[in-house]
Amino acid sequence: MAFERYLVLGLLVLHVSLTNTIAVRPNHYSTASLSRSSFPEGFIFGTASASYQFEGAAKEDGKGASIWDTYTHTYPGKITDHSTGDVAVDQYHRYKEDVHLMKKMGLDGYRLSISWSRVLPNGKLSGGVNREGIKYYNNLINELLAKGVKPFVTLFHWDLPQALEDEYGGFLSPQIVHDFRDYAELCFNEFGDRVKNWVTINEPTSYSLSGYEGGSFAPGRCSDRNNCAAGNSSTEPYLVIHHELLAHAAAVEVYRQKYQAKQKGCIGIVLVASWAEPYSNTRQDRNAALRNLDFVFGWLMDPLTNGDYPRSMQSLVGNRLPKFSKEQSNILNGSFDFIGLNYYTTSYAANAPQPNAVNASHTTDMCVNRSNERNGIPIGPKAASDWLYVYPRGIHNILLYTKRKYNNPLIYVTENGIDDASLSLEEAFVDKHRIDYFYHHLKYVNKAIKHGVNVKGYFAWALTDNFEWINGYTFRFGMYYVDYKNGLKRHPKLSAHWFKSFLKK
């Protein structure tokens, strides 16, 4: 059966190569109408990843446990296929192979994250630095640079050291600010001579809401005792974001004070950038769409640009929303050189009544009913994930909104992609829907640039299939198919061929 399967694959590859202009570059996705040359000189094209989703080697070479290591092993039923990231796609051992694929495609950048517990197994400098972990990231960074691929390094992509969760509750405690600053400084000192683009935290809202409101992500806290052993959905998400913002600002402060001038790099943060369309043209629904933006995007962008939370949040959340001191506001205000935006989808927003205070949460506080369809009609084609509906215009809208409201910051689109269900290699190979997704989103990014938005790069999610958090390995976002049953071998899908053709100079 294996021979027959790979024979079919070989015939598909041959067919693609013989009909390249039809199968890989269909006329309506022609590189004549949109290609690398359509974007400004120096525009970065890359792919993005996260340590827990890609690396594996969960217990190798002195790595400490993260909250995701603990979560997947303690609550296997919360992961669709009961899987873990123990091996993931084994990039820890196969990084040279993956970097070669990036070079082969013509990519300019790779957005990776450092596993905090791989370099500091106990989360703190006082617990000792794991030199094997430092060595791995040095090797990866050097391999990227040797192949002409710029590393964009994220310090925290949700895999908090379990030791800090055990000691003081992780981001529930202000103690995290000091430990994150120390960890960030270690990374600046070890890697900053070569890494010129730093991200402090990836999607603070996703970490906060999924981990502390709904409890579906590590550390699995919420108010519902049927789903979570502990937690408070009405207060903890706000507290976690508050400490994430302060930790971010502390890392930026130490970078600017001690490293930026000599290392000549940039530092920013990556935010969720989903868009919301009003469910109707009524004033109430238009206001609901704006509140939705405040509660998801402005929750971070307002403190980063003016030192305080949006007024709508202050009004609706009341004393459950933490307050910044004057000193904290000053440190936060302007604490970025660039903003990374992760855009995947758009939803409708309709006005909703204020919640009962007993059952309050971030979701109810915003007084918005979100949906993916209107009058039975979806906002766009549905992907594999329940939350992902294809709406390319949304990326243009959020980019223009950011330009207008937040004084046109330097922006990188740091994630953008579409998933499908776990398919056989033959089925997954012909991923024309992914080509369609990339093409139309890139078209709208290009349009935003022409409208004056300061976008400097685009990172597709993802180079390869990987561990997709609570969906395990059942959903696939990669341009390369990973054969989980046959040694994690990487196979290019049609989208990989298309992207390579798009990137040709």
- 253 assigned to active site: no
Q: Residue 38: which residues within 8 A CB-CB, separation 6 or more?
A: 446
Q: How far apart are CA 335 and CA 349, in angstroms?
A: 30
449 CB neighbour count, 10 Å cutoff: 18
Q: Which of 185, 244, 277, 415 is catalytic?
A: 415
Classify residue 422 as exposed, middle or buried by CB count within 10 Å of its CB (0-12, 13-18, 19+): buried
Rg (CA), the chain: 22
Q: Crossing angle for the helix pair 432-450 and 393-405, nearest 10 degrees?
A: 30
Kindly state the DSSP code that residue 356 receives in the 8-state scheme: P
43, 409, 297, 169 alpha-carbon torsion, rounded to 10°: 90
Q: Is the dihedral of CA 130, 132, 136, 142 positive or negative?
A: positive
Q: Which amino acid is at 364?
A: T
Q: Which of 55, 203, 236, 244 is catalytic?
A: 203
Taking CB atoms within 8 Å and a gap of at least 24, the contacts of 214-223 are: 216/78, 216/470, 217/71, 217/158, 217/469, 217/470, 218/66, 218/67, 218/68, 218/70, 218/71, 218/72, 218/158, 218/160, 219/67, 219/70, 219/71, 219/160, 219/165, 219/170, 220/71, 220/75, 220/78, 223/361
- List residues with catalytic annotation: 203, 415
